Chain A
Amino acid sequence: GAGVSQSPRYKVAKRGQDVALRCDPISGHVSLFWYQQALGQGPEFLTYFQNEAQLDKSGLPSDRFFAERPEGSVSTLKIQRTQQEDSAVYLCASSRNVGNTEAFFGQGTRLTVV
């Protein structure tokens, strides 16, 4: 695609509900990153994929957070049993290859847990 696409753009979840956030990276991009951006803060790293391999998940805040990229393209970030502190914008970014320094960001999914 022309850019990184994320869906849904907005998601309201009741506390305790499971959610799934989707990221369509730019076609052919090898690297994919997920970030969490709380209100008034900068994005914070969650996890990184190189193709289908999840090479770094050190930023995932708890075992309720899970990410996958089974075919090395589309990625899904799943949050189980959502809590109010999970409310944030979730950003996805992709890079053409491992050696490429520029990351292209999607518009994000704004998750509100009520």
Chain B
Amino acid sequence: AQSVTQLDSQVPVFEEAPVELRCNYSSSVSVYLFWYVQYPNQGLQLLLKYLSGSTLVESINGFEAEFNKSQTSFHLRKPSVHISDTAEYFCAVRRQAGTALIFGKGTTLSVSS
């Protein structure tokens, strides 16, 4: 069975500071890895995903995540955050296409000026 651990439930940072949201997973088989973002009163939106190939994946709004197989991690990073990045971030795994996503408990990123 797969599981996802998000080590930090809340991460407060100042605007323009770097941030890392940590995610570790456990699985006995290869998985697909995802980060979803949930803004207040909105649905989950896909931020980025790792399926295969390059272990570093990037989103269009400056976030990146690196798949580390040996450490079973998929940490999310951004070198300089904005107020608008304030949201709930969920890490998720999927064993194969067509199966359900397994989510972590989420990390609340709060960006202040």
Chain A interface residues toward B at CB < 8 A: 4, 31, 33, 35, 40-45, 48, 50, 56, 59, 91, 93, 95, 98-108
Chain B interface residues toward A at CB < 8 A: 4, 6, 32, 36, 41-46, 49, 51, 90, 92, 94, 97-106
Inter-chain contact B32/A43, CB cutoff 8 Å: no
Chain A residues closer than 8 Å to B102, beta-carbon distance = 45
Inter-chain contact B43/A101, CB cutoff 8 Å: no
Given pairs A43-B103, A99-B97, 18 additional interface contacts (CB within 8 A): A4-B43, A33-B101, A35-B103, A42-B6, A42-B90, A42-B103, A43-B90, A45-B101, A48-B100, A93-B101, A98-B98, A101-B97, A102-B46, A102-B49, A103-B46, A103-B101, A105-B44, A107-B43
| CB closest chain-B residue, reference A50 | B98
Nearest Cβ distance between residue B48 and chain A, in whole angstroms? Answer: 11
| CB closest chain-A residue, reference B88 | A42
Chain A residues closer than 8 Å to B49, beta-carbon distance = 101-102
Nearest Cβ distance between residue A84 and chain B, in whole angstroms? Answer: 21
The 4 residue pairs across chains A and B that have the minimum distance between CB atoms: A42-B103, A45-B100, A105-B44, A98-B98
